[in-house]
Amino acid sequence: MTRLKTRPQFLAAAKGASLARGGVAVQKLDRQDGDPTIGAGFTATKKVGNAVVRNLAKRRLREAARALLPLHGAPGNDYVFVARAGTADRDWLRLLDDMRSALLGLAAGADEPRPARRPRSSSGRPSPRPRQPPGSDASDG
């Protein structure tokens, strides 16, 4: 297992498939370069907490990846593990289960669909929904 350390490596993985489960989000990129090593990167945003909490979350993700990537990671892929708000506090076995579930889901080809966004008006606010005339019922049709 090699570590992803540079921003371009993380950005490339973000363009691949991703899946979130409980305390972790996992991004996967098939490098298609013929190298069978598995790459792993770890990140936590400021939404997770202060520096101490972010570092704890990343240490927990590194240890979980060390245990699970050799078993469930696909050779020739890069994985980025993104800590979520509950990663630092989550029970260890639940965190392992979340990571295992995400890795197996990505291996099976599951990619979490992005939610559809409503178009925004020029002011940056979501467009208002069309109003139904009084007395009309959309379920009559």
Give the model confidence (pLDDT) of 89-126 as tens digits. 999 999 999 999 999 998 887 665 555 556 666 666 66
What is the average per-residue pLDDT within 57-78? 92
The answer, yes or no, to whether residue 81 has pLDDT greater than 90, is yes
Q: Are 28 and 13 in contact (CB under 8 A)?
A: yes
Residue type at 111 in one-letter notation: D
Q: Helix, strand or coil for residue 30?
A: strand
| CATH code of the domain occupying 2-107 | 3.30.230.10
Q: Are 73 and 103 in contact (CB under 8 A)?
A: yes
Q: Is the dihedral of CA 90, 107, 81, 67 positive or negative?
A: positive
Q: Are 80 and 10 in contact (CB under 8 A)?
A: yes
Q: Are 95 and 60 in contact (CB under 8 A)?
A: yes
The answer, yes or no, to whether residue 1 has pLDDT greater than 90, is no
The answer, yes or no, to whether residue 140 has pLDDT greater than 60, is no
**Domain boundaries along the sequence of the chain:** 2-107
Q: Where are the beta strands (DSSP E) in 73-131?
A: 77-83
What pLDDT does 33 receive? 84
What pLDDT does 111 receive? 63
Give the model confidence (pLDDT) of 22-63 as tens digits. 889 999 998 888 888 999 999 999 999 999 999 999 999 999
22: its two tokens? 């409980």
